[in-house]
Amino acid sequence: MNAPTDVLDLVRDGADLIVPIRNGEPHTVIDALEAHADRLTGVRIHQMDPARERPYINGKYPGRLTHVSYYLGPGCRQAYWNGTCELVPAHFSEVPLLLREYTRHSLVLAASTMPDEHGYFSLGTNADYAAALIGEVPFFLEANPCMPRTFGQNQIHVSQVAGWCVADYPLQETMPAVPDDRDTRIAELVAERVPDGACLQIGVGRIPDALLAELAGHRDLGVHTEAMSDGVMHLAEQGVVTGARKKLHRDKHVATFCIGTRRFFDWLDGNASVAMLPVDWVNDPRVVAREPAMMSINATSEVDLMGQAASETIAGRYWSGSGGQADFARGAMYSDGGRAFLVTHAATGDGTSRIKVQLGRATPVTTLKNTVDHVVTEYGIAELRGRSISQRAAALIAIAHPDHRDRLTYDARHAGLLH
């Protein structure tokens, strides 16, 4: 066992350090790097969705310690806008590949459980891209008694780590979101299309939480998802989520990272029904496609009348990243009986339509029009797969906010999208 500062002996000039998502971040180890940044040169930390803002992310140590993000979140969003961190566009499934091929992947810094009686640490709430590098890259672990012990492919033996330290602090909690009437209506519309025995990939937030609540009357649902949270726990406790009809990891709830409340973390601890697996397997569209009746549900921020979905920007400014949206939409396309849903409110808080005639010039497309299956607002479901441009435009206008339908129809005709 080491002190957090012992990590400095393992960090060379120009090193690329890999840190997991959210609660996979070892706070005391990153604290040590920041406190001794004057000893570092050209060191980069690669991470999706940091748990919190940090001085180094905000550019306090230029040329010494900098941040590279693969998905913007609250911990680095403002820093990206300020120009003090980098953003790499990436499908979540491909992040391990990018780290292997385009970085030195010098060292993984990760939070973990304490070692068990057999000498194994668990990465707890995480597998993500870090677990994909076990056996390939040295690890320095921060063992935390508050971290739940999970199973799957996120265990690492004490003989495989370059060093480890102990820290005792509570995990960051993410409280369940409170849905509004629009969220509930969208959830009802999607739940009607989810058959018993389906396998779910569902995100985190107000609409996903509302949908999980709406599924309480279903039977034998499975879970194969990137992010798992309290809603899955509640359905598992009710006997709704069993995984009994899954093809892969039958009877297991599969995820690649977890966020939620302390109660959820306690439920995860020692729970053999949960399998935490690396993201390059969980999110691989070819793997997703092997699950029958795969239901992919993800949020988007804008959809144009051809069906292109922009899910990373708000008002033309980057807000997040691609994540696994396209991974699962593509996988659900090839699943036997699979469906993919992109969900959004019909209008923003200031009344701007989220259904657009065309996306703005600076707006990146997250999910291609050829892949988008269903688009859902509180006004209905637009089925796009196999439909012409004109049919798509008509279907999307029908689920737009009523205040915008006439204008969308007029502009669509002038743009040649609607006959």
Catalytic residue positions, numbered: 226
> Could you tell me the CA-to-CA distances from 287 to 93, 110, 131, 156, 342 in Å, in that order?
11, 26, 17, 24, 20
In a 10 Å sphere around its CB, with 0-12 CB exposed, 13-18 middle and 19+ buried, how is residue 60 labelled? middle
Q: Which residues 6+ apart lie within 8 Å of 239 measured at CB?
A: none
- Residue tagged 């995984």 (tokens): 243
Alpha-carbon distance 317 to 315, whole Å? 6
> Could you tell me the CA-to-CA distances from 369 to 175, 298, 389 in Å, in that order?
33, 15, 10
Tell me which residue of 288, 292, 162 sits closest to 220, measured CA to CA: 292
Q: Which residues 6+ apart lie within 8 Å of 338 measured at CB?
A: 289, 291, 292, 293, 294, 295, 296, 331, 332
Q: Which two tokens stand for residue 274?
A: 């949960």
Alpha-carbon distance 290 to 171, whole Å? 34
Alpha-carbon distance 37 to 31, whole Å? 10
Please, are residues 153 and 278 in contact by the beta-carbon 8 Å criterion? Answer: yes
- The number of C-alpha atoms within 13 Å of 167 and in the hemisphere containing its C-beta is 23
Q: Which residues 6+ apart lie within 8 Å of 205 measured at CB?
A: 177, 299
Please, are residues 287 and 53 in contact by the beta-carbon 8 Å criterion? Answer: no
Alpha-carbon distance 85 to 123, whole Å? 26
State the maximum Cα–Cα separation within the chain, in Å, rounded to a whole number.
70
What is the distance in angstroms between the CA of the first residue and the CA of the last residue of the chain?
70
The whole-angstrom distance between residue 399's C-alpha and the CA centroid of its chain comes to 26
User: Coil, strand or helix: which one is 334?
Assistant: helix
Please, are residues 110 and 7 in contact by the beta-carbon 8 Å criterion? Answer: no
